[in-house]
Amino acid sequence: MYQTKIAGLGKYVPENVVTNDDLSKLMDTNDEWITERTGIKERRHIKKGDGNTTASMGVKAAKIAIERAGISKDDIDLIVFATLSPDYYFPGCGVQVQEMLEIATCPALDVRNQCSGFIYAVSVADQFIKTGMYKNVLVIGSENHSGGLDFTTRGRSVSVIFGDGAGAAVLTRSDHNGQGILSTHLHSEGKHALELSLKGPSTNHWVPKIIAENPQGDDIPYYPYMNGQFVFKNAIQRFSEVINEGLQENGLSVSDIDMLIPHQANLRISQFVQQKFKLADDKVYNNIQKYGNTTAASIPIALTEAWEQGKVKEGDTVVLAAFGSGFTWGSAIIKW
Ligand code: UT7
């Protein structure tokens, strides 16, 4: 069995900054509520005409990751793309990336695991590398949330939280035994699928049916729905469980964690987990204040920033953890 390491990281966020005050001009909300409940001060939104899409932002992040990995795009053996906001209903963004990067042909697959998408994608990549089937796998998490949110007061409990952006990682076969991904841990609990969901358009909620069933337009399945407090309670429980699971699997304890990068769902969730594990401030990386919740992109964006700032360095034990729609959750334990 081979081992997988992260050889290169990159991120891209649109230039357009949207502050809480900007949102308060569109809906009944305010900076105080958003800051207090979520920690978010601003987020990035794609601006009409700036050319950004979920796939193209992923490509921008990927190009940086590929360069930092010291490989060529032609060395990529597989693309794994995680998103809940693809450019098309089908095909997935993975094939768009293959085309945009001008890779002759290569396998490309999309992962649909929402906020846990990046960890699921890393786990998939890791399996292919471990078995020796592929050497270099490009993993991308990217989201265009702003294109599909309800920016009226009706949608405020969801719309203020989410932002756009992309992060990417090149995973490659590690030459050093013991360095790289030590383990990944994935879970789902579909009985809560609709607690955080966007029901349509889908084959079950196709456009004519949506219009026929909602003549007044009051129950709108094409905007995300979130049972916020229920999701919050499940998140803090599952985050803790799956971090512990990863530590135990590797015979590690909390004091071995050099950096925890939690999915940026809500600053209060990250702070709860930090307090529960009694981690010092410099052992947890948060950037939700600047970008909001970017779902599958949040961990690779945060990991890239932490690495750029020298907060993730060789020899460190890095823990990634996520929870989100599905419900799905997961963790990855990495020796950097
Ligand atoms: O990333 C995937 C996983 N996602 C999560 O983990 C998110 C988990 N949930 C949350 O982060 C929080 O539940 C939210 C941030 C979504 C909401 O915070 P909350 O403290 O649970 O607030 P709430 O939904 O209980 O709403 C409290 C009040 C309500 O008013 P009333 O009924 O008390 O009069 C809402 O209508 O706040 C109101 N409200 C707002 N007020 C101003 C909801 N959204 C807003 C808003 N601005 N944007």
At 210 the pLDDT is: 81
- pLDDT band of 44, cuts 50, 70, 90: very high
* Catalytic-role residue among 145, 263, 266, 286: 263
Q: What is the pLDDT of residues 223-276, one digit of tens each?
A: 999 999 999 999 999 999 999 999 999 999 999 999 999 999 999 999 999 999
Does position 96 have pLDDT exceeding 90, yes or no?
A: yes
Q: Is 192 in the pocket of ligand 1 (CB under 6 A)?
A: no
d(CA 117, CA 139) in angstroms, rounded, equals: 10
The angle at the Cα of 250, spanning 248 to 256, to the nearest 5 degrees, equals 85
According to DSSP, residue 14 is labeled -
192 counts as catalytic: no
Region 51-68: what's the mean pLDDT? 98
186 CB-near residues (< 8 Å, 6+ apart): 116, 119, 120, 123, 328, 329, 330
Q: What is the pLDDT of residues 124-140, one digit of tens each?
A: 999 999 999 999 999 99
At 32 the pLDDT is: 98
Q: Is 231 in the pocket of ligand 1 (CB under 6 A)?
A: yes
Does position 9 have pLDDT exceeding 80, yes or no?
A: yes
Strands of 136-143's sheet, edge to edge?
4-12, 165-173, 136-143, 78-82, 108-111
Identify any residues that bridge with 314 across adjacent strands, giving them in sequence order. Answer: none
- pLDDT band of 320, cuts 50, 70, 90: very high
- pLDDT-above-90 percentage for the chain: 92
Is the whole model's pTM more than 0.85, yes or no?
yes
Class of domain 3-174: alpha beta
Q: Is 293 in the pocket of ligand 1 (CB under 6 A)?
A: yes
Strand positions, DSSP E, the chain: 4-12, 17-19, 42-44, 78-82, 108-111, 136-143, 165-173, 180-188, 196-197, 225-226, 259-262, 317-324, 328-335
Please give the C-alpha separations between residue 275 and each of 87, 241, 269, in angstroms, as whole numbers.
38, 14, 10
Between 278 and 204, the more confident residue is: 278
100 CB-near residues (< 8 Å, 6+ apart): 55, 56, 59
**DSSP 3-state of 303:** helix
Between 215 and 292, the more confident residue is: 292
d(CA 118, CA 260) in angstroms, rounded, equals: 15
Say if CB 141 and CB 300 are below 8 A apart: yes
Does position 19 have pLDDT exceeding 80, yes or no?
A: yes
Torsion of CA 232, 249, 124, 228, to 10 degrees: 0
Region 65-86: what's the mean pLDDT? 98
d(CA 227, CA 64) in angstroms, rounded, equals: 36
d(CA 295, CA 162) in angstroms, rounded, equals: 8
Half-sphere exposure of 331 (CA within 13 A, CB side): 25
What are the residue ranges spanned by the domains of the chain? Answer: 3-174, 180-335
List the single range of 57-61, 163-167, 178-182 with lowest mean pLDDT: 178-182
Q: How far is the CA of 161 from the centre of ligand 1 (A)?
A: 9
Q: What is the CATH number of domain 180-335?
A: 3.40.47.10
Q: What is the pLDDT of residues 168-197, one digit of tens each?
A: 999 999 987 789 999 999 999 999 999 999
Identical fold, 3-174 and 180-335: yes
* Test site for ligand 1: of 157, 188, 325, most ligand atoms within 8 A of the Cβ: 157
- pLDDT band of 144, cuts 50, 70, 90: very high
Q: Helix crossing, 31-38 with 267-276: angle to 10°? A: 30
93 counts as catalytic: no
Q: What is the pLDDT of residues 190-223, one digit of tens each?
A: 999 999 999 988 888 888 888 888 777 667 888 9
- Which helix or strand (DSSP H or E) is residue 117 part of? helix 117-130
- pLDDT band of 103, cuts 50, 70, 90: very high
Q: Is 324 in the pocket of ligand 1 (CB under 6 A)?
A: yes
At 239 the pLDDT is: 98
- pLDDT band of 279, cuts 50, 70, 90: very high
The angle at the Cα of 117, spanning 111 to 121, to the nearest 5 degrees, equals 65
